[in-house]
Structure 1
């Protein structure tokens, strides 16, 4: 009997729990106006969320555009660096050829001042001429001083130490046949260091004082590059056009034509 009473009590409790949700639902019945208010609030919240989402999308699109611009700028700078590196390698190759030619000549050249010596350019040895008009300096100290400066660039890769050596050579041997090359290479080294004002002076010396130098076309091209680095696009354009006009078949003219398109 006691067990039956407990079973009945448990059944009634379960029934009451089952009915509870319906009672709670009845107590939570809302009027039509209250439901409309609830719907309006939900719509307002949804609208605000959509506005915030749109703002976030706009912000992300702006960031993407900025990052894309930065990436394009970096790619452009990288292409400039690679182009500059290629030009420098070309110049170093020329100097290496010149240094080898000079070394061979010094080991073969007789001491007599009436002997014939080959005429040296940056890239080749041409037919011999009389020693008095030779392009290889007869002054041993002059040759050694120039060789020392060149070797600091080619062999030792000590570019910072080569700068004072070229400057000392220019001062010590003002009438040397190597003067235009010394000024040009001093300008190259200064340009590489970012000392554009001093580099410009060296290149201008080659252009103005050595009109027959085979470095003049390169020097004009480098003056255009200096102007471009300094943000003077008008001057850069004029110099690029000058080298194309005066030396149309030169390598510098071809490089200048390509750079004109980037201005």
Structure 2
């Protein structure tokens, strides 16, 4: 029996050891599986994170490109605005210069005529000079019309005495002696000290001579010599008085 017991004890001990080994192997395998799964999950998580990071980088790059495009567009718009502002400033400058020029057309100018200085509107100056140019061209009837219109349009003008003088001369040239006398007398009444006054008085006498009014002509010439003794017209008046006698 002792032998029998010994014969059974060995297998029992071996069986026990095999079971423990198997458990250890199973536990080791479970641990390895667990570690593998954990590693896999970690790898999956790492892959997901890398994919997410790549997507984030791609999104960031897309945003950067969009910002660059927007910046380029804004730069272009800014340059266009700068060009428009420059063009607007140029136009404003042109408009301001045009306004200044138009205003200057209405600003009085200083005139020196027949020994007198006065202020006149540009249009007034232009109209007088135009009428005088017509007279000097020998178109006396047209000149008379132009000076008559000027006197009516600019009744307070500093040109008035000179306009009356040239109107009278235009009428004398067209043999309208009575109207010429009236305008020469208007000059003498309005501006007796005017540089053209002695000539106007002499012209009155000439008109009276043409009208055969010798007595009136003689009186006019005598008044001329007495009023303007040092004038060239007075010298001419003395000669005419000598011939009238």
- Select the residue among 179, 188, 203 that pairs with 2:160: 179
The reply to whether residue 141 of structure 1 matches residue 123 of structure 2 is: yes
1:45-194 aligned within 5 A: 111=104, 117=110, 120-122=112-114, 134-137=117-120, 139-154=121-136, 156-194=137-175
Structure 1 gaps, min length 5: 1-109, 127-133
> Contact 2:109–2:119 at 8 Å: present in 1 too?
no
Tell me, in whole angstroms, the C-alpha distance in 2 between the residues paired with 1:224 and 1:204: 11
**RMSD between aligned alpha carbons?**
2.5
SS of corresponding position for 1:261: helix
Deviations 1:132-179 (A, max 9, x none): xx4252x1111111011011122x332221111100000000000010
Structure 2 gaps, min length 5: 1-102
- Select the residue among 166, 183, 195 that pairs with 2:176: 195
SS of corresponding position for 2:118: coil
- Select the residue among 231, 241, 245 that pairs with 1:260: 241
Evaluate the alpha carbon distance shift between residue 181 and residue 115 of structure 1 in structure 2; reply closer, same or farther with a 3 A threshold.
closer
Tell me, in whole angstroms, the C-alpha distance in 1 between the residues paired with 2:214 and 2:144: 28
Evaluate the alpha carbon distance shift between residue 199 and residue 146 of structure 1 in structure 2; reply closer, same or farther with a 3 A threshold.
same
- Report what 1:106 is aligned to: none
Tell me, in whole angstroms, the C-alpha distance in 2 between the residues paired with 1:234 and 1:253: 18
Query: CA shift at 1:212, angstroms?
Result: 2.5
Evaluate the alpha carbon distance shift between residue 196 and residue 248 of structure 1 in structure 2; reply closer, same or farther with a 3 A threshold.
same
Evaluate the alpha carbon distance shift between residue 169 and residue 217 of structure 1 in structure 2; reply closer, same or farther with a 3 A threshold.
same
* TM-score normalised by the chain length of structure 1: 0.50
Tell me, in whole angstroms, the C-alpha distance in 2 between the residues paired with 1:212 and 1:171: 23
* TM-score normalised by the chain length of structure 2: 0.53
Tell me, in whole angstroms, the C-alpha distance in 2 between the residues paired with 1:223 and 1:115: 34
Tell me, in whole angstroms, the C-alpha distance in 2 between the residues paired with 1:239 and 1:175: 28
Tell me, in whole angstroms, the C-alpha distance in 1 between the residues paired with 2:132 and 2:145: 12
For the pair shown, which has the larger CA radius of gyration, 1 or 2?
A: 2
SS of corresponding position for 1:135: strand
Tell me, in whole angstroms, the C-alpha distance in 1 between the residues paired with 2:146 and 2:174: 16
Tell me, in whole angstroms, the C-alpha distance in 2 between the residues paired with 1:170 and 1:192: 19
Deviations 1:112-143 (A, max 9, x none): 999994x6233x7x8xxxxxxx4252x11111
- Identify which of structures 1 and 2 has the higher relative contact order when contacts are C-alpha pairs closer than 8 Å and 6+ apart: 2
Q: Count the aligned residue pairs.
A: 142
Evaluate the alpha carbon distance shift between residue 148 and residue 249 of structure 1 in structure 2; reply closer, same or farther with a 3 A threshold.
same
